[in-house]
Amino acid sequence: MALENSTNDSCRSERTIALVWGCELTKEAPTYTFEVPDDWSYEQQLALRTVCLGEKAKDEFHVVEILPPKDSKESAPVCIANLKLSVLPMVASLGFDLNPPVTFRLKSGSGPVYLAGQHLTAVNAWNDSEEEEESSGDEEMEESSKESIKIPDIKHSSVAAKKKTGVAAQEQSQTKGAGRGRKPASKK
């Protein structure tokens, strides 16, 4: 599934393609590395959205962490979730955007633990000649839409609305009491 989002800047024009991404960590396969081929020239990013336990997970602590890249000076892994079925079976992590390669590891627990998010790719939407055509088309569209939009005169419409509500109020006061099922008061 792919979603596209267009952004228009004065200096550049990009289109973002978002693909649904997910992986499973278990005791048998405790690590997963999200990476993209070296020949991909576009900017890549992984937006992690949820970390949750599977239906067959045991009620034990499941610790999920991100391992530092092999060429990094950082040596300590970063814990991103500590889940337990009876306490916290899922974590939503908005705003957790990672640049590949990223390695996830199930440090403790037997799983299954599911990670889900979006694989984002920023690509050039069009070249310079198409950009000029697009901008001139937008200007023409704006001019034609201005001509077709007619703004009603506020003074006339508000007077008409007042007259209409005044007539409705008179009709309502004339029919007041009618149709309610009340009997007229008897004279004694």
Q: What are the structural domains, with CATH classification, of the chain?
A: 2-10+21-124 (2.60.120.340)
3: which DSSP letter? E
In angstroms, the Cα distances linking 81 to 45, 95, 165, 172 are 20, 15, 61, 64
Work out the end-to-end distance of the chain between its first and last CA atoms, rounded to an integer number of angstroms: 82
Q: What is the pLDDT of residue 180?
A: 54
Q: What is the pLDDT of residue 19?
A: 92
Q: What is the pLDDT of residue 160?
A: 46
Q: What is the pLDDT of residue 4?
A: 46
Alpha helices (H) in the chain, listed in sequence order: 128-148, 154-174
pLDDT tens for the chain, 188 residues long, are 444 454 444 455 678 889 999 999 999 999 999 998 888 778 899 999 999 999 999 999 999 999 998 877 778 999 999 999 999 999 998 778 898 999 999 999 999 999 999 999 988 765 544 444 555 555 555 554 444 444 444 444 444 444 444 545 555 555 555 555 556 666 65
Q: What is the pLDDT of residue 13?
A: 67
Q: What is the pLDDT of residue 52?
A: 97
Q: What is the pLDDT of residue 23?
A: 97
3-state secondary structure (DSSP) of residue 59: coil
* Other beta carbons less than 10 A from residue 160's beta carbon: 10
Q: What is the pLDDT of residue 123?
A: 81
Q: What is the pLDDT of residue 6?
A: 45
Q: What is the pLDDT of residue 39?
A: 80
Q: What is the pLDDT of residue 152?
A: 46
